Structure 1
Amino acid sequence: MYAVLPGLVVFLPAFDQIYPMLAMLVIFAWVRATEGSAIQAVMLGALVFVVTMMAWNLLALGGFAVLHAVHLLRRERFAKAAWLRLAMIASIASGVAIGLHAVLYLLTGYDAPASFVRALATQRAIALPDRTWALCAGLDPLYFLLAAGLPLLPLLAWSLRDAREWSFVSRSGPALAWLGVATILLIDVSGLLRAETARVWLFLQPFVVAPAALALSRVGRAQRATVFVLQWLILVVLVARVPFIEP
């Protein structure tokens, strides 16, 4: 599915393709940490450090962490042990990330907070007046889904409907798939990352690609081949006709 994902292919050569991989690692580390893995909590902190050295927009994955934490607390009836476990994970991860940045600052003088402030200023500078909240909230998901390829949409809907049958979410129920979609909607409504979502939101593509691919794995070879051919045709059309892929 990823090999013919328009949003990854049309922007080659670029560094954007690594962002979905980082996002998947962060999501994996967070979920495993909430299941009791202290090592994954440390890995989460290290990944946050790497992310903040590359692209600050990936910090928007914190929206998924918050939604997932609320789901876990509700599932465990807001027990004190659940609160303490989440607090411990947050403390370990943030401690590792801040510690690594402190070491980097002592060694090189790189000022991460100043970099973050500059990134926010740059974001405000490129937020053109005509990119209003209403316009972006309505059109940004369209460009995001266009970058995902249209055949993915019915697969995603099918997968969300039958999410209870997925083995990989059996311990958390169908919530992971739904929380992923909710994260996309949260970022859209918040207006945090406006416009150019075919590229800027690439790190959110795993939330739709993974469930769609799982749904695709449950059909026959002929149906899978049909989806891949349709995805390839859409990719060709985008490369040939859609102006937002121009340099």
Structure 2
Amino acid sequence: MHDGSLLTAERTRPAAPVPTPVPAAGRTPRPVAIAVLAGTGLTVVAAVLAALRLLPAGSRAGAWRYRYVHTFSWEMLLPFAGGVAAVLALLWLTHRLGARRERLALGMWLAAAVPLQLVVRAADEASLGAIVGSDRANSFYTPSLRFTAYEYLTRFDEIVHALPQHARSNMPGKTLLYHLMGAVTTNPAALGIAVTAVSSLAALLVYLVVREVLGDRRVALYALILCLLVPGRLYFLPILNAVSPVPILLSLWLFTRYLRNAHWGWAVGLGASLYLVFFFEPLPLVMGLTFAALAALALYRRRLDGLGLLKLVSLTLAAFAAVYLGMKLVFGYDLFVNLAEVLADATDFNERAHRPYDVWVVRNLGDFALCAGIAAVVLIGYAAWDAVRRGVARPIAVLTLSGLAVLAFLDLVGINRGETTRLWIFLAVFLTIPVAWVCARSPRAWPFAVVAAALMLQVATTTPLIAFIRP
């Protein structure tokens, strides 16, 4: 393993791996093995509790629960078996391809992304098409049929109050995504598959971010695969919360590209992509803590100076302002007015729904574990312990601790109360990075295979039992 990355290499040339000794005789480090087995054991316990209809999902005291809808049957484990077989076969093929055919291996996993996810969540009786077409489950599809994209933006202030609940309380980007996909098809089943494909772009972006920040092919590939298997994503496909990680990860990748090569184009792209984050789902902007932490590390290691940081901030703000003014002049759409209304509606909704802060500040953490995967949470804890033990001024430590800081901040600020399993998806996807890093600490593949199997077991035993989404 190594910490070779854009923060330890010259910006004028590609980052070169910095080798460090691997465990003797190819053995898995004992702490890694303990963390993997502990996480897997807890996942099995959770699966048994779900089968007995005892696993909590939500909070009765907090005025929001996901109800149980079925009793357990062994047939529910068939998607788990199929998913494990597919992942093991693909891992074997990846090993056979070797490091020199990295792009081919990457293409293979991306080609398998949508089929793999559909297999793992196959036990859910609610079809993708039924969920897309339901105003109760997904209220963004219907408005895309009623209004053209131009009409939706130019008359947004006028029509927003007549929209279904979720479309009314969200930014317009989600409905406009259906407009964009509707240029190809308006069939709900096809759109469900399209949403799955768009959501899977998060896996590619996680891969690219890891390659930039850590410079480690193996960690990057593991993170890509784990991103596809995040339970929260699979629970809520094709709900558009599964797409929410894409804009913020795009911004993070552009940001890391600038840290490697301080070209104005990366900063301009960053400004435009941050507008997209606001426009689609502003909640992930809390990951600005990660951006700030990476910038601080770059300054500390003297790979970014004050002038470069000033250039980055100035160009990013200028690009953001240009997009903002362009949208306002062309469509009459004011992002910040809309954002203020959405935030006010979220605060008011928590009060009207009687969802108390003191309940959800605790319950949110349980919902995050359900979203990220119980096995993954154990490995994230190990990565955090390692970061504190070995020093925080390392790229993986910065990624891990800043991700946990985002978790703590969002939990303590109290915006998310109820239905939070889906609201944590963007962060659960990002935190696959330390999970992948822990698995890659072993020269063996079994820790990663076991963690991937644990995530699939959690999905297979909870998706058909708990009504995360119902049309």
Give the TM bin, normalised by the shorter chain.
0.7 to 0.9
Secondary structure, aligned partner of 1:237? helix
| Superposition pairs of residues 1-247 of structure 1, within 5 angstroms | 1-35=226-260, 37-38=262-263, 39-69=265-295, 75=300, 82-128=305-351, 130-162=354-386, 172=395, 174-219=397-442, 220-246=444-470
Which amino acid in 1 is paired with 2:276?
V
The CA deviation at 1:25 is 1.8
| Matched residue type, 2:246 | M
In 2, Cα distance between equivalents of 1:58 and 1:222: 32
3-state DSSP class of the match of 2:374? coil
Give a deviation string over 1:122-160, Cα, whole Å, max 9, x none. 212321363222222211121012111111123223333
Larger helix proportion, structure 1 or 2?
1
Instruction: Name the larger-Rg structure.
Output: 2
Task: Return 5+ residue gaps in structure 1 as ranges.
Answer: none
What percent identity do the matched residue pairs reach? 25
AA aligned to 2:285 is L
Deviates more, 1:13-22 or 1:145-154: 13-22
Q: Distance in 2 between matches of 1:88 and 1:134?
A: 42
- How far apart, in 1, do the equivalents of 2:460 and 2:417 lie? 26
Tell me if structure 1 keeps the 8 A contact 2:290–2:398. Answer: no
SS in 2 for 1:10: helix
- So what's the TM-score if we normalise by structure 2? 0.46
- How far off is 1:72 after superposition? 5.3
C-alpha separation in 2, matches of 1:211 and 1:51? 23
CA drift at 1:11: 0.7
User: Is the 8 Å Cα contact of residues 230 and 428 (structure 2) preserved in structure 1?
Assistant: no
Q: CA 1:105–1:209 in 2, change beyond 3 Å: closer, same or farther?
A: same
Q: Which amino acid aligns with 1:238?
A: T
Q: Is the 8 A contact 2:247 2:274 kept in 1?
A: no
Q: CA deviation at 1:31?
A: 3.4
Could you state the TM-score of these two structures normalised by the residue count of structure 1? Answer: 0.82
Q: What is the aligned-residue RMSD (CA, Å)?
A: 2.9
Deviations 1:92-126 (A, max 9, x none): 11210111121122111112122112211221232
Q: 1:103 to 1:7 in 2, by over 3 A?
A: same
Please report how far the alpha carbon of residue 57 of structure 1 lies from its aligned counterpart in structure 2 after TM superposition. Answer: 1.7
Aligned length: 240
Q: Distance in 1 between matches of 2:285 and 2:451?
A: 32
